[in-house]
Amino acid sequence: MKSCLIFAHRGANKEAFEGGIAIAENTRAAFNRALKYSIDGIETDVQLSLDEVPVLWHDWELDKLGHQGKCIDDFNFEQLQKMDFAGYCSPDALAEGALSLQEFIDSYRGRCGLDIELKSRDGESQLRFQNKILKMLAVIGPSAADDGVFISSFSLPGLIFANRHAPDLPLYYLLSDHHTQADIEQFLKDYSFLAGFCLPIDIHNDSIAKLLREQGKGVGVYTCNNEQDIQKALDLKVNILITDYPQLALQMRDK
């Protein structure tokens, strides 16, 4: 088993762009590009359409698509399918409608691991947020550990709710720059159901690595986009390394 799994962050769009190919993030083209390398997984983001279809999109608004101030949940899925989620990065890009979580799971499950980030935003009602989680769980299934599918989120209440409805599904808490080792120690005491934590690479260190390893928790880091950060992640023996440059990370890991 590989000691460190390399996950492509929203696909391999940035690496492709620097190679002269413009590909939009979280699109079929970005994911298929990532799979040209021997990656171990893909990270993506899920929001909910107006008619409650889980859809892949990172930004809160659709400004990139020409819908200033509008959000995913301002449109139903049929409307989102008619939009071009790929063309904003290049007029030459093949047009792509919205990608549903269902299509993503059907297309990529079993081909690599899948890190599905549950997005939450200010002003979203608790009922709608919980419905989003239930819709995601219905697509993913109650237990996905065997095929490398897991949910991550910055929302601890969201992960608690997900665990209540799918206790066997691996859940990773996404930490931010302000979190400390003391915070992590408290999370370990209060939320033992968490399969692991995903940390900004800047705050990860030997002490945190030792703590989480002793507690049997998975460790992911984001977003490792240069040689220094990638090497730091490898030296700390993380389980999952999330990067916009999977080819570079693979080369460094496998050398």
As a whole number of Å, the CA-based R_g of the chain is: 18
pLDDT in tens, 218-242: 999 999 999 999 999 999 999 999 9
DSSP state of 40: S
Residue 13, pLDDT above cutoff 90? no
At which residue do the structure tokens 């970005």 appear? 30
CA distance 254 to 2: 10
pLDDT tens figures, 71-94: 999 999 999 999 999 999 888 889
Tokens 């299509």 sit on residue: 103
Q: Measured between alpha carbons, how far is 233 from 80 in angstroms, rounded to an integer? A: 37
Q: Does domain 5-254 have CATH number 3.50.50.60?
A: no
Strand partners, 169: none
- Lowest-pLDDT choice from 54-63, 69-78, 141-150: 141-150
Return mean pLDDT, the chain: 95
User: Nearest-CA neighbor of 169 among 159, 177, 180, 178?
Assistant: 159
pLDDT above 70 covers a percentage of the chain that reads 95
Other C-beta atoms closer than 10 Å to the C-beta of 60 total 14
- pLDDT score for 144: 66
Share of the chain above pLDDT 90, in %: 88
Nearest to 54 by CA among 110, 112, 6, 101: 101
